[in-house]
């Protein structure tokens, strides 16, 4: 499995912005579709956003569409999640993961350790 490490989480006021980054190991990063998922306490882990190989396709959960933007930099082996207009409902631990190259919101099993995002009212 590819090694993934998330960073950039923190505490932010509602309406604010935060940018999460996921650093991946290996020289085959560009071959993976990547996604962001989140999990709030007592809730199931849910899909947030995903990006295909070569960034040809992106896919967002309805709850974040128009507010979040996923991007990747294959030269740096990173995938990012720009989160704008944050809401308290966005509070969760955010994870990056490799995802199915066709069905982008289905994880393949390589996960980062997660980074906490807390949005205050």
Convert the pLDDT of each residue in 46-62 to its tens digit: 999 999 999 999 999 99
Q: Of 1, 21, 23, 6, which Cα lies nearest the Cα of 114?
A: 6
The rounded percent of the chain whose pLDDT value lies above 90 is 94
Handedness of CA 62, 109, 29, 24 (dihedral sign): positive
What mean pLDDT is predicted for residues 34-48?
A: 97
What mean pLDDT is predicted for residues 79-102?
A: 97
What mean pLDDT is predicted for residues 59-81?
A: 97
Q: Using only the alpha carbons of the chain, give its radius of gyration.
A: 13
The pLDDT value given to residue 27: 78
Q: Between the CA of residue 29 and those of 2, 19, 41, 54, 64, what are the distances in Å? A: 8, 20, 30, 10, 25
What mean pLDDT is predicted for residues 74-85?
A: 97
What mean pLDDT is predicted for residues 5-33?
A: 95
Q: State the first-to-last Cα distance of the chain, in angstroms, to the nearest integer.
A: 38
């Amino acid at each position: 499995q590819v090694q993934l490490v998330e960073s950039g989480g923190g505490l932010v006021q509602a309406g604010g912005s935060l940018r999460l980054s996921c650093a991946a190991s290996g020289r085959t990063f560009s071959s993976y579709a990547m996604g962001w998922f989140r999990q709030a306490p007592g809730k199931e882990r849910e899909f947030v956003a995903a990006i295909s190989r070569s960034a040809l396709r992106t896919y967002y959960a309805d709850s974040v569409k128009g507010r979040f933007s996923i991007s990747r930099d294959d030269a740096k082996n990173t995938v990012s999640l720009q989160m704008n207009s944050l809401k308290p409902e966005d509070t969760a631990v955010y994870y990056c993961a490799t995802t199915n190259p066709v069905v982008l919101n289905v994880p393949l099993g390589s996960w980062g350790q997660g980074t906490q995002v807390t949005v205050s009212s």
